[in-house]
Structure 1
Amino acid sequence: MTASSSAAPAIPDDDPTRTLTVANPDDPATIHISLAGDNYAMLITGKQTNGQYCLIDMRVPDGGGPPPHRHDFEEMFTILEGEVEFTFRGEKRSVRAGSTVNIPANAPHNFRNVSGVPARMLCMCTPAAQDEYFMRVGDEVASKDAPPPRLTDDEMAKRRQRAAELAPAYRTEML
């Protein structure tokens, strides 16, 4: 295709109101969320990308990970440290540091750290909103190394209920 026979719309002008984002999980301004025992650093939020995507630094202790679920958006994980077991449409697959996993929209999945040591991965969701969901259902903690809050059984039940109630608004279904 040549430039003169373009059927595609022109590339929009630059938006000077948008700024360069540099994210670091050690930056004191980074928001850290404790969710189901995991620690998620909101590196790049949907607010910073006009909703295009979000990037979350996930620290997952041994035994950590979400319950089975599915959502109407793409999700990609790059394993930085450790090993994580992904269950995709009922089939389990162990993935080690250095690998990237893409979960197609709407596919049932979950992950679990069964390695015996902490794992760390980057999670990118496109379009964004998972970052907002996590911030609404999790508990903010001081840093990437902060322990999860000690919750009573009643508080844990309320968190699960809030996650289930908010899931549809964030195009997510708990399975």
Structure 2
Amino acid sequence: MPVASGAIPADDPTRTLVHARPDDRNLQHVAIAGGTYTILVTGEQTAGRYCLIEMRVPPGGGPPPHGHDFEEMFTLLDGAVEVTFRGQRTTVRAGETINIPANAPHFFRNSFDQPARLLCMCTPAGQDEYFLRVGDTVDDPTAPPPALTDEEKAERQNRAAALAADYRTELLIP
């Protein structure tokens, strides 16, 4: 793709370097979709351009079918997951990267007997905020998700569905 002619915009000195460290006590961790997600880089830190989330997904974990009007890219750091994209299933293993185009129906599931660890970049940002609003905060990335009653699980699902449109997401569950 050709570069547009003309000068690039001036540096914005109000923006700062973001250095995400996995042991940073200020990172937010949220239990959601059967796993624990750590917000490494927030949309606020990137002026809304993207967010970066580390996902720890245990066997059996993963989100329900959904779609959204933003790009989502996953890099598998450890383990493997099965990704269903427009009805076609593929296995993604450690070291591999996939990109989900905006608006495409998809989901992933850890169908294996080992935990998976992924980096998820969403552009533009917003998914970081959605996860924090619908999940349960936990102390660290290895903390187990809270034990929820059936009523609490239903409340989380209802909250996710109610907020989905605010975050440009559509849950594709019956």
Question: TM-score range with shorter-chain normalisation?
Answer: over 0.9
Name the CA distance, whole Å, in 2 between partners of 1:24 and 1:115.
28
Local SS of the residue matching 1:40:
strand
Letter of the 1:61 counterpart: P
Where do residues 95-114 of structure 1 align in structure 2 (5 Å cutoff)?
A: 95-114=92-111
Where do residues 33-112 of structure 1 align in structure 2 (5 Å cutoff)?
A: 33-112=30-109
- Number of residue pairs matched by the alignment: 170
Cα offset, 1:39, TM superposition: 0.4
Cα offset, 1:26, TM superposition: 2.0
Task: Point out where structure 1 has 5 or more consecutive residues left out of the alignment.
Answer: 1-5
Name the CA distance, whole Å, in 2 between partners of 1:168 and 1:9.
37
Deviations 1:72-95 (A, max 9, x none): 000000000001100000010011
The percentage of aligned residue pairs carrying the same residue is 66
Contact 1:56 1:123 in 2 (8 A): yes
Letter of the 2:21 counterpart: N
Letter of the 1:113 counterpart: N
- Cα 1:95–1:16 change in 2 (3 A) is same
Over aligned residue pairs, what C-alpha RMSD do you find? 1.1
Name the CA distance, whole Å, in 1 between partners of 2:22 and 2:55.
10
Where do residues 25-40 of structure 1 align in structure 2 (5 Å cutoff)?
A: 25-40=22-37
Task: Point out where structure 2 has 5 or more consecutive residues left out of the alignment.
Answer: none
Letter of the 1:46 counterpart: G
Letter of the 1:50 counterpart: A
Map of 2:9 onto structure 1: 12
Letter of the 2:158 counterpart: Q
- Cα 1:117–1:9 change in 2 (3 A) is same
Name the CA distance, whole Å, in 2 between partners of 1:172 and 1:20.
29
Map of 1:147 onto structure 2: 144
Name the CA distance, whole Å, in 1 between partners of 2:144 and 2:128.
20
Map of 2:158 onto structure 1: 161
Deviations 1:92-151 (A, max 9, x none): 001110000000000000000011110000000000000000000001100011110111
Larger Rg: 1
Letter of the 1:99 counterpart: E
Name the CA distance, whole Å, in 2 between partners of 1:155 and 1:18.
39
Name the CA distance, whole Å, in 1 between partners of 2:49 and 2:32.
23
- Cα 1:7–1:38 change in 2 (3 A) is closer
Local SS of the residue matching 1:21:
coil
Name the CA distance, whole Å, in 2 between partners of 1:107 and 1:35.
21
Cα offset, 1:14, TM superposition: 0.6
Structure 1 segments (4+ residues) deviating >2 Å: 6-10
